[in-house]
Amino acid sequence: MEILSFSQQVLALAWWLALGVSVLIYIALDGADLGAGIFSLFVRDHDERGAIMTAMAGTWDANETWLIVAGGILFGTFPFVYGSAFSYLMVPLAFVLWGIIARAISLEFRHLASPFWQRFSDGVFGLGSLTVTFFGGVCVGAVLQGYPQTDVEGRVPTYVGGAFTFLSPFSVWVGVASVVAVTLAGVLFVRARFEKGEPIRIDAARWTMTIFYLAIAAVGITTVWSALIFPWAADKWFGAHFWVWGLLFVVSVFAIARMRRATLDDRDLAAILWFNSAAVIMGFGMLATMFPYLVPGTWTIFDAASPQVSIVTFTMTMGGFVPVMILYNAYQIWVFRARVTKLAAHAH
């Protein structure tokens, strides 16, 4: 692997941040859609399930584009991680891909189906959302653990583990915790997208009270578990600059408390914004904890970056793409901002 110059290291660092931002935006935007899909598994009213799909029909494709952006950045800037990590995560990513495809088909074709196949589509949509969330979380947990590679002088390291090396109690737990957190995002989304007084919105408000405490517990368990099994995390969190991480913790707790207050006051948009603020703070905290690793204990940002010419070319080609995506999302959210009722179901 070639040694990067200072300017190329700066570019690698910038694209690492862009990768992190893309993933966090995807979690914030499509996380709400996925959570609403999981919530729909427990909704009995046929039209209400259809209305949940209608609520996201105008924006779901733009939300998922951030996953493509993240994959493109990984492929173009960090190809060594792209090649090895995708081999490591082949099985869970296959389930994630199935879930994404299943959700897309259900969303786009439900209104064309007969009542029986509409109910079938509802189930596929919910299970697809659950599958994407759980196995996506498993992937995150598995990446935090790192993975085995070859170590041959003069050759690019390659993955040498088995198809199920990703499986561990921690990676499975992160999948479960992801389902809990995303479901909270989903019920907040349902509350914000349905007219006040709609029965489904009242049900979502009731769910919020329970899921909120489950999400707090999930975050707490994941944090403590990470500190116990990952020396790179414990060394930073409890090292010389422990006060920085303590400050991040306080800010996160403040955002969570404000979200809770907003839900109790029935201020839906504020609740979503505070929820996403807490998620972004914790996400950037994890990125800072992992630095300079892209995959802890396996690939640093600079070792994983493209050779010299490639990273510069990629930056010149794709550098303006992220701002365009942000404007695209903002436009769609604004256009489809109105609340819906169950009469807007994806079948009428």
The model carries a pTM of 0.91
What's the confidence (pLDDT) of residue 343?
66
Tokens 């630095």 correspond to what residue?
291
Three-state SS at 78: coil
What's the confidence (pLDDT) of residue 36?
94
Name the DSSP class of 2: P
CA distance 132 to 32: 12
Name the DSSP class of 112: G
- Kindly report, residue by residue over 228-287, the tens digit of the pLDDT: 999 999 999 998 888 999 999 999 999 999 999 999 998 999 999 999 999 999 999 999
Confidence of residue 59 (pLDDT cuts 50, 70, 90): confident
| Single-letter amino acid code for the residue at 47 | D
- Mean pLDDT computed over every residue of the chain: 88
- CB distance 157 to 307 below 8 Å: no
Domain ranges of the chain: 24-344
What lies within 8 Å, CB to CB, of 202 at 6+ separation is: none
pLDDT above 90 for 69: no
Phi first, then psi, for residue 149 (nearest 5°) are: -140, 165
* Three-point CA angle 337, 341, 343, nearest 5°: 125
What the block records as the tokens of 191 is: 């509350």
- CB distance 45 to 342 below 8 Å: yes
CA distance 285 to 222: 14
DSSP output for 210-221: HHHHHHHHHHHH
CA distance 54 to 333: 13
| Distance, CA of 315 to chain centre | 24
- Kindly report, residue by residue over 140-167, the tens digit of the pLDDT: 999 999 999 888 877 888 899 899 999 9
What's the confidence (pLDDT) of residue 312?
67
